[in-house]
Protein backbone atom coordinates (compact mmCIF):
# COMPACT_ATOMS: atom_id res chain seq x y z
CA UNK A 1 0.00 0.00 0.00
CA UNK A 2 1.35 3.42 -0.97
CA UNK A 3 2.46 5.65 1.91
CA UNK A 4 1.25 9.25 2.30
CA UNK A 5 2.18 11.81 4.94
CA UNK A 6 -0.07 14.81 5.50
CA UNK A 7 1.23 17.92 7.30
CA UNK A 8 -1.56 20.19 8.53
CA UNK A 9 -1.64 23.67 10.03
CA UNK A 10 -4.20 26.18 11.25
CA UNK A 11 -5.83 26.52 7.83
CA UNK A 12 -6.91 22.89 8.12
CA UNK A 13 -9.23 23.69 11.01
CA UNK A 14 -10.20 27.24 10.03
CA UNK A 15 -13.21 26.00 8.05
CA UNK A 16 -14.49 24.38 11.25
CA UNK A 17 -14.43 27.73 13.02
CA UNK A 18 -11.21 27.26 14.98
CA UNK A 19 -9.48 30.64 15.25
CA UNK A 20 -6.13 30.81 13.49
CA UNK A 21 -3.19 32.43 15.23
CA UNK A 22 -1.90 34.45 12.31
CA UNK A 23 -3.65 36.52 9.68
CA UNK A 24 -6.54 38.93 10.04
CA UNK A 25 -8.33 38.62 13.38
CA UNK A 26 -5.97 35.85 14.46
CA UNK A 27 -5.56 34.94 18.10
CA UNK A 28 -2.18 36.68 18.25
CA UNK A 29 -3.99 39.97 17.55
CA UNK A 30 -5.98 39.50 20.74
CA UNK A 31 -3.34 37.81 22.88
CA UNK A 32 0.35 38.63 22.40
CA UNK A 33 2.25 35.40 21.80
CA UNK A 34 4.69 36.30 24.58
CA UNK A 35 1.86 36.28 27.12
CA UNK A 36 0.12 32.99 26.35
CA UNK A 37 2.48 30.80 24.34
CA UNK A 38 5.89 31.01 25.99
CA UNK A 39 7.32 29.57 29.22
CA UNK A 40 8.09 33.14 30.31
CA UNK A 41 4.47 34.20 29.83
CA UNK A 42 3.30 31.23 31.85
CA UNK A 43 5.66 32.03 34.71
CA UNK A 44 4.61 35.69 34.68
CA UNK A 45 0.85 35.11 34.68
CA UNK A 46 -0.14 31.44 34.88
CA UNK A 47 -3.81 32.26 35.54
CA UNK A 48 -4.07 34.18 32.25
CA UNK A 49 -2.44 31.33 30.33
CA UNK A 50 -4.63 28.68 31.92
CA UNK A 51 -7.78 30.63 31.07
CA UNK A 52 -6.62 31.23 27.49
CA UNK A 53 -6.39 27.47 26.94
CA UNK A 54 -9.58 26.82 28.90
CA UNK A 55 -11.37 29.02 26.34
CA UNK A 56 -9.72 27.21 23.43
CA UNK A 57 -10.77 23.88 24.96
CA UNK A 58 -14.39 24.95 25.38
CA UNK A 59 -14.45 26.08 21.77
CA UNK A 60 -13.65 22.55 20.63
CA UNK A 61 -17.12 21.41 21.63
CA UNK A 62 -18.76 24.12 19.56
CA UNK A 63 -17.13 22.94 16.33
CA UNK A 64 -17.02 19.77 14.24
CA UNK A 65 -14.52 18.39 11.73
CA UNK A 66 -14.92 19.87 8.27
CA UNK A 67 -15.00 17.99 4.99
CA UNK A 68 -11.24 18.45 4.67
CA UNK A 69 -10.66 16.51 7.89
CA UNK A 70 -13.03 13.81 6.70
CA UNK A 71 -11.27 13.48 3.34
CA UNK A 72 -7.87 13.19 5.03
CA UNK A 73 -9.36 10.34 7.08
CA UNK A 74 -10.80 8.78 3.92
CA UNK A 75 -7.28 8.54 2.46
CA UNK A 76 -6.79 5.59 4.84
CA UNK A 77 -9.18 3.53 2.71
CA UNK A 78 -6.63 3.61 -0.09
CA UNK A 79 -3.23 4.44 1.43
CA UNK A 80 -1.02 4.03 4.49
CA UNK A 81 -1.47 7.52 6.00
CA UNK A 82 0.30 9.43 8.74
CA UNK A 83 -1.02 12.86 9.73
CA UNK A 84 1.53 15.26 11.21
CA UNK A 85 -0.32 18.23 12.61
CA UNK A 86 0.75 21.55 14.05
CA UNK A 87 -2.78 21.94 15.41
CA UNK A 88 -3.61 21.18 19.03
CA UNK A 89 -7.30 20.47 18.43
CA UNK A 90 -8.72 16.95 18.16
CA UNK A 91 -10.58 17.35 14.86
CA UNK A 92 -8.43 14.85 12.95
CA UNK A 93 -9.22 12.22 15.58
CA UNK A 94 -12.91 13.03 15.52
CA UNK A 95 -12.94 12.80 11.71
CA UNK A 96 -11.53 9.29 11.88
CA UNK A 97 -7.79 9.58 11.21
CA UNK A 98 -6.01 6.86 13.14
CA UNK A 99 -2.29 7.70 12.94
CA UNK A 100 -1.65 11.26 14.12
CA UNK A 101 1.52 12.95 15.34
CA UNK A 102 0.76 16.14 17.28
CA UNK A 103 3.89 18.28 16.98
CA UNK A 104 2.70 21.10 19.22
CA UNK A 105 0.80 19.19 21.87
CA UNK A 106 -2.86 18.45 22.49
CA UNK A 107 -5.45 20.82 23.85
CA UNK A 108 -7.41 18.09 25.63
CA UNK A 109 -4.39 17.08 27.68
CA UNK A 110 -2.70 18.74 30.66
CA UNK A 111 0.60 17.89 32.24
CA UNK A 112 3.13 18.63 34.94
CA UNK A 113 4.70 22.09 35.01
CA UNK A 114 7.90 20.44 36.21
CA UNK A 115 8.10 17.59 33.67
CA UNK A 116 5.70 18.38 30.82
CA UNK A 117 6.56 15.32 28.72
CA UNK A 118 6.59 12.72 31.49
CA UNK A 119 3.79 10.35 30.47
CA UNK A 120 3.12 9.53 34.13
CA UNK A 121 1.90 13.09 34.72
CA UNK A 122 -0.12 13.67 31.53
CA UNK A 123 -3.87 13.74 32.07
CA UNK A 124 -6.62 13.61 29.45
CA UNK A 125 -9.54 15.94 30.15
CA UNK A 126 -13.15 15.19 29.26
CA UNK A 127 -16.12 17.29 28.26
CA UNK A 128 -17.34 17.59 31.85
CA UNK A 129 -13.95 18.73 33.19
CA UNK A 130 -12.46 21.14 30.68
CA UNK A 131 -11.09 23.93 32.85
CA UNK A 132 -7.79 24.00 34.75
CA UNK A 133 -7.26 26.58 37.47
CA UNK A 134 -4.48 27.64 39.80
CA UNK A 135 -4.13 24.98 42.49
CA UNK A 136 -4.94 22.00 40.27
CA UNK A 137 -2.00 19.66 40.69
CA UNK A 138 -0.33 17.02 38.58
CA UNK A 139 0.60 13.70 40.19
CA UNK A 140 4.09 15.03 40.98
CA UNK A 141 2.62 17.92 42.99
CA UNK A 142 3.34 20.65 40.46
CA UNK A 143 0.72 22.92 38.91
CA UNK A 144 -1.11 21.36 35.97
CA UNK A 145 -0.38 23.22 32.74
CA UNK A 146 -1.60 22.83 29.16
CA UNK A 147 0.08 20.00 27.25
CA UNK A 148 1.19 22.49 24.61
CA UNK A 149 4.63 23.01 23.09
CA UNK A 150 5.23 26.71 23.55
CA UNK A 151 7.60 28.94 21.61
CA UNK A 152 11.10 28.41 22.94
CA UNK A 153 10.42 24.82 24.02
CA UNK A 154 11.73 21.67 22.38
CA UNK A 155 9.45 19.75 20.02
CA UNK A 156 9.76 16.14 21.24
CA UNK A 157 7.68 14.63 18.41
CA UNK A 158 9.79 16.06 15.60
CA UNK A 159 11.93 12.93 15.41
CA UNK A 160 8.80 10.79 15.06
CA UNK A 161 7.64 13.10 12.28
CA UNK A 162 10.96 12.84 10.42
CA UNK A 163 10.88 9.05 10.70
CA UNK A 164 7.32 8.97 9.37
CA UNK A 165 8.47 10.65 6.16
CA UNK A 166 10.93 7.85 5.34
CA UNK A 167 9.85 5.93 2.26
CA UNK A 168 6.86 8.18 1.60
CA UNK A 169 5.20 8.08 -1.83
CA UNK A 170 3.50 11.48 -1.56
CA UNK A 171 3.65 14.40 0.87
CA UNK A 172 0.69 16.71 1.38
CA UNK A 173 0.75 20.12 3.10
CA UNK A 174 -2.57 21.69 4.09
CA UNK A 175 -3.20 25.11 5.57
CA UNK A 176 0.16 26.01 7.03
CA UNK A 177 2.24 29.12 6.40
CA UNK A 178 5.45 27.06 6.72
CA UNK A 179 6.79 29.82 8.95
CA UNK A 180 7.10 27.82 12.17
CA UNK A 181 10.13 25.62 12.66
CA UNK A 182 10.98 22.83 13.04
CA UNK A 183 7.68 21.79 11.38
CA UNK A 184 8.40 23.89 8.29
CA UNK A 185 11.70 22.05 7.88
CA UNK A 186 9.96 18.69 7.39
CA UNK A 187 9.77 19.40 3.66
CA UNK A 188 13.54 18.99 3.55
CA UNK A 189 13.18 15.32 4.55
CA UNK A 190 10.87 14.41 1.68
CA UNK A 191 12.88 12.10 -0.62
CA UNK A 192 13.93 13.56 -3.95
CA UNK A 193 11.38 12.96 -6.67
CA UNK A 194 8.46 12.35 -4.32
CA UNK A 195 5.46 14.51 -5.28
CA UNK A 196 4.58 17.31 -2.86
CA UNK A 197 1.06 18.77 -2.88
CA UNK A 198 0.26 22.06 -1.17
CA UNK A 199 -3.35 22.97 -0.42
CA UNK A 200 -3.70 26.63 0.53
CA UNK A 201 -5.54 29.55 -1.07
CA UNK A 202 -2.64 31.85 -0.23
CA UNK A 203 0.95 32.12 -1.41
CA UNK A 204 3.20 29.94 0.73
CA UNK A 205 7.01 30.22 0.59
CA UNK A 206 8.52 26.95 -0.57
CA UNK A 207 12.12 26.28 -1.58
CA UNK A 208 12.60 26.49 -5.33
CA UNK A 209 14.41 23.14 -5.30
CA UNK A 210 11.20 21.35 -4.24
CA UNK A 211 8.71 20.55 -6.98
CA UNK A 212 5.33 21.46 -5.49
CA UNK A 213 1.86 21.21 -6.96
CA UNK A 214 -0.02 24.13 -5.38
CA UNK A 215 -3.79 23.70 -5.18
CA UNK A 216 -5.07 27.19 -4.38
CA UNK A 217 -8.17 26.12 -2.49
CA UNK A 218 -9.29 25.78 1.10
CA UNK A 219 -8.86 22.50 2.94
CA UNK A 220 -12.18 20.90 1.98
CA UNK A 221 -12.30 21.85 -1.69
CA UNK A 222 -8.58 21.26 -2.11
CA UNK A 223 -8.68 17.80 -0.55
CA UNK A 224 -11.58 16.78 -2.79
CA UNK A 225 -9.53 17.69 -5.86
CA UNK A 226 -6.40 16.06 -4.52
CA UNK A 227 -8.09 12.80 -3.53
CA UNK A 228 -9.25 12.33 -7.11
CA UNK A 229 -5.76 13.12 -8.37
CA UNK A 230 -4.05 10.72 -5.98
CA UNK A 231 -6.42 7.89 -6.80
CA UNK A 232 -5.63 8.29 -10.47
CA UNK A 233 -1.85 8.57 -9.96
CA UNK A 234 -0.90 6.32 -7.05
CA UNK A 235 -3.31 3.40 -7.22
Q: Which of 22, 29, 32 is nearest to 200 (CA)?
A: 22
Pairwise CA distance, residues 47 & 63, whole Å: 25
Respond yes or no: is residue 92 known to be catalytic.
no
Contact 11/66 with Cβ under 8 angstroms? no
Catalytic hit among 69, 92, 104, 214: 104
Return the ∠ at Cα 178 (arms to 17 and 23), rounded to 5°: 45
Query: Hey, which residues are catalytic here?
Result: 104
Amino acid sequence: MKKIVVLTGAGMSAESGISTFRGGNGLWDEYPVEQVATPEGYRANPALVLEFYNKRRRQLFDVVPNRGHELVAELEKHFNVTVITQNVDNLHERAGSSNIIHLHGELMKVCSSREPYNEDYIKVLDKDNLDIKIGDKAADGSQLRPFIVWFGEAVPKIEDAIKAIEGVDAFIVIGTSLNVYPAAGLLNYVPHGVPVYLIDPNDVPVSSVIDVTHIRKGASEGMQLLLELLLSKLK
